[in-house]
Amino acid sequence: MDTTKNRRSRSGASSRKRSTFSSSNRRNTSGGNRGGYKGGNRRGGGGRSGGNRRGGARKMPTFDPSQFINKNPVEVTEEVYTPKHKFSTFGLNGKLVKTIREMGIETPSPIQDQVIPEILEGNDVIGLAETGTGKTAAFLVPLIEKTLKEYSRQTLILAPTRELAIQIQDEFKKLTKNFKLYSTVCVGGTSIRPQIQSLRKKNHFVIATPGRILDLINQRKYDPSHATTVVLDEADRMLDMGFINDMREILSLTPEDRETLFFSATMNKDAEKMVHDFMKNPVTISVKKKDVTNSIEQDVVPHGHHDKFETLCNLFNESDELKRVIIFGAMKHSVEKLSKELTKHGIGAESIHGNKTHPQRQRSLAKFKSGNARVLVATDVAARGIHVDNVSHVINYDLPNTFEDYVHRIGRTGRGTKRGKALTFVHTK
Ligand code: AMP
């Protein structure tokens, strides 16, 4: 792990270079168009109401298939980070420390080690970290601690997808099982009524997707003017999904003296501008993860006009190695169709995409996680923020929109010490 930290002043934020965040994920996003292979996908659903609000301005991507090949992945041994703190030395409530220990979390991860003291001190923080780094606990633990000390505190957490919002609440519930702290999840694609009812009660934490919470604000069911802290989790993804105006509007409705925490895997101009406009003297903490494009075995699977599905079935029939497989598809309906077709052909598959209700997605995910389904077919958006261990293969049945999406997808395998493989379908004939 490579970690860095610096402080940026409010006025200096926009002019300062991205000195601290990892650029490893950006390899070849623009420079790799050597061969002129064309693949055109539109991103699957998600966002405000399951739709993509980016509009039709996006260019068709051009990829060189060689970008998807790495037959000799390097063995990446991550640098050992020595934390300065233990959970017992942050000055946290003893019961909270005990709960963290009971969750099996022993040592603060690098992002936690550096972020927790800053949040406890009341500083605005930019955390440049991907999922899997422990970023959720990095903001939840200190915010829970502060809420225990000051019961009137209210935190609003914005996340790009309902799955991520639910996962944040799950972690919140685990961390607060010994305390009387309350939370509500407000996400789209599910009935608004229970959310309205839950918002009537006291909530220390509201975890929401931007579109839904803005609806609730407009209906005067949630009052953002009481938020003491706003967390933007996976901010780059929210921006990418077209939530920029919603995010800015929500932030502008919260008090000026709020604390703002901004977590993102990457920074771009929109993110820089938000930081500049809405954060006060933020501390930047960057945690670089291993470069998956170097460390994951990758190959292409050539197919013709009419044999794409047959080629996929053959992969499964010819190899026992494909034990737990995530297949990425471009569109919600094609993802659904593919999972049904696979199941028909004896390859147990579940699907997650924006056309499914939240409980349906949760059920599919549970079946996949428990091993009851060998395959999970997903759109990029629906798969975001989901953790599944021991994924043996990621298959890009449809091409991603960007190389960054590709990196995100293949990062679903090869987690931790387990080795996985990424296969990308390319149309050759
Ligand atoms: P996140 O990056 O927040 O999505 O966290 C990924 C996973 O790591 C979650 O399942 C957490 O429960 C787990 N986790 C969080 N902090 C730690 C830690 N310090 N050590 C080990 N696991 C952790």
Ligand 1 pocket at CB < 6 A: 105, 107-109, 112, 131-137, 387
Angle between the 135-149 and 162-175 helix axes, to the nearest 10 degrees? 50
Give, for all 429 residues of the chain, the pLDDT tens digit: 545 566 543 333 322 222 222 223 322 322 222 222 233 332 333 333 333 333 333 344 667 888 888 888 876 655 678 899 999 999 999 999 999 999 888 899 999 999 999 999 999 999 998 877 899 999 999 999 999 999 999 999 999 998 899 999 999 999 999 999 999 999 998 999 999 999 999 999 999 999 999 999 999 999 999 999 999 999 999 998 899 999 999 999 999 999 999 999 888 899 999 999 999 999 999 987 666 777 789 999 999 989 999 999 999 999 889 999 999 999 999 999 999 999 999 999 999 998 888 789 889 999 999 999 999 999 988 887 677 878 999 999 999 988 878 888 888 886 555 668 999 999 986
Between CA 37 and CA 389, with CA 375 as vertex, the angle to 5 degrees is 100
Nearest CA to ligand 1 atom 11: 134
Q: In the chain, which segments carry CATH 3.40.50.300?
A: 2-16+77-288, 65-76+291-427
Residues 254, 255, 257, 262: what is their CA dihedral angle, to the nearest 10 degrees? Answer: 0
How far are the Cα atoms of 201, 225, 294, 295 from residue 421, in angstroms, in the given order? 47, 47, 12, 10
Q: In terms of Cα–Cα distance, which of 260, 257, 249 is closest to 155?
A: 260
Tallying the residues shown for the chain, one arrives at 429
- The ligand 1 atom at the shortest distance from the C-alpha of residue 112 is 19
- Taken in order 181, 137, 380, 231, the sign of the CA dihedral is positive
Name the residue of 109, 114, 389 whose CB sits within 8 Å of the most ligand 1 atoms, as the mutation to test its pocket.
109
CATH 3.40.50.300 fits 2-16+77-288, yes or no: yes
Distance CA 412, CA 429 (A): 29
CATH superfamily assigned to domain 65-76+291-427: P-loop containing nucleotide triphosphate hydrolases (3.40.50.300)
What tokens appear for 346 in the block?
């004896």
- The ligand 1 atom at the shortest distance from the C-alpha of residue 167 is 4
Distance CA 429, CA 281 (A): 55
Taking 3-state DSSP, the helix, strand and coil percentages for the chain, each rounded to the nearest 5, stand at: 35, 15, 45
- The ligand 1 atom at the shortest distance from the C-alpha of residue 130 is 2
Q: Determine the residue type at 220.
A: R
